[in-house]
Amino acid sequence: MNKPFLYLSIASILLFSCKKKREHISPIEEKITESVYASGVVKSNHQYQVFSTTNGIIASILVAKGDIVKQGDAIISITNTTAKLNTENAKIAVDYAATSSNSEKINELQVNIDLAKNKMDNDALLFKKQSNLWNEGIGSKNELDQRELAFKSSSINYETAKLKLTQLQKQIAFQAKQSQKNLQISSVITNDYIVKSEASGRVYNILKEKGEMVNTQTPIAIIGDSTFKLELQVDEYDIAKIKIGQKIILTMDSYKGQTFEAVVNKMIPLMDERSKSFTIEAGFINKPNTLYPNLTCEANIVIQQKEKAITIPRNYLLTGDSVILNNNEKKKVIVGLKDYQKVEILSGLSVNDIILKPL
């Protein structure tokens, strides 16, 4: 046997083997579900981060992880010496401004009023007598004028004394109100150093320890209630397909081998520019017995379903929606629903056709 004939024989065998091994399938009729992939986490309903409204050092942590708290319950106490001193000073100012603390000043002015009135009454009496004498032709005009001047002067002094008392009483009342208001402000500020729960729920985490500094920018605890929801991230390419009420099939790393169902409850209509995704909120239809915030999950949001459809694997479909028949002929098809493994063929193929897997 010559070499050219040997090479030709080997090539023919290899070509025949390649043709023989090329994968092929026939379309099948089955159920198909089109869905959108989403990933996300479990969160408790009304879950929120607790922030301090002021800066300071944690003096004591009043709850533990897992505790149930009510709205308004104290969570953390923060120490701030300046605020404490300001409140004490405000209390001192209230005591000082009180009417009882100014009784001596008030009594002093009341005595002055009494003395001024007595003098005015006496000068009035002397002026009247001098007037009577003058009318009878007794005494001089100078004496009458002096008595009149003394009466007018004592009258003015009496009115001035009364005015001073009125002004003092107004000043005391104003200072008392002002100091009381300052005490209220200081008390509110001091109250800010007790961090309280904004809603009833469970303490899922304490993010700080006793003695650590806190500020208004960093969360110090996480609180939520005992019911849970899903927060899913959907790519912007798929968001137009999502509707309220769509069913969700999901799996969780903490419950391997199990599937759970949920439903789309809410769509947040703002895209995250960094991840190019939208947030979808969903509620469980059936859920695990035990859940914790921030458990991860993977989900398929069901868009459409068909109980009977002719399908082929997606990797048998060429770009431009065509397939390769068993005789190597390329044929155009019309596709319908798609999932991650298969695609529906609306027309162009039947279950009797044989198609080849693209090389």
Note whether 27 and 41 are same-domain residues. Answer: no
Do 325 and 264 belong together in one domain?
Answer: no
Looking at the structure, do residues 236 and 325 belong to the same domain, yes or no? no
User: Do residues 133 and 282 both lie within one domain?
Assistant: no
Give whole-number Cα distances, 355 to 81, 179, 330, 341, 351, in Å.
Answer: 82, 91, 10, 16, 10
Indicate if 118 and 171 belong to the same structural domain. yes
Q: Is 310 helix (H, G, I), strand (E, B) or coil?
A: strand
Q: How deeply is 82 buried, as exposed, middle or buried, from its count of CB atoms within 10 A (0-12, 13-18, 19+)?
A: exposed
CA atoms within 13 A on the CB side of 298: 8
Indicate whether 324 and 295 sit together in one domain. no
| Residue 85 CB coordination number (10 Å) | 11
Round to whole Å and give the CA distance between 303 and 32.
11
**Residues 57 and 115 occupy one common structural domain:** no
What number of CA atoms fall less than 13 Å from residue 168's CA on the CB side? 17
Instruction: Give the amino acid at 297.
Output: C
- Could you tell me if residue 3 is inside a domain? no
Number of separate domains in the chain: 4
Cβ-count burial of 3 within 10 angstroms (0-12 exposed, 13-18 middle, 19+ buried)?
exposed
> In DSSP terms, which residues pair with 68 in a beta bridge?
202
| pTM metric for this prediction | 0.53
Q: Which residues contact 152 (CB under 8 A, 6 or more apart)?
A: none
- Show the tokens assigned to 144: 């009458």
User: Is residue 214 domain-shared with residue 257, that is, in the same domain?
Assistant: no
The domain that holds 287 is classified in CATH as 2.40.30.170
24-25 and 28-44 beta bridge pairing: unpaired
Give the pLDDT score at 126: 92
CATH number of the domain at 322, please.
2.40.420.20
Residues 103 and 183 in one domain: yes
CA distance 111 to 121: 15
Q: Which two tokens stand for residue 197?
A: 């729960």
- Mean pLDDT per 10-residue section of the chain, whose length is 359 residues: 50 49 88 91 89 85 90 84 61 64 81 93 92 88 90 93 88 77 64 80 89 88 89 94 94 92 95 94 92 91 91 92 92 88 92 91
Does residue 299 share a domain with residue 161? Answer: no
Distance CA 41, CA 109 (A): 75
CA proximity to 344, closest of 312, 300, 305: 312
Range of the domain at 184: 83-191
Task: Say yes or no: 99 and 239 in one domain.
Answer: no
Residue 6 lies in a domain: no
- 176 shares its domain with 215: no
Is residue 11 situated within a structural domain?
no
Q: How much is the pLDDT for 16?
A: 47
Alpha-carbon distance values, 49 to 199, 207, 218, 228 (Å): 11, 10, 9, 16
**What pLDDT score was predicted for residue 93?**
64
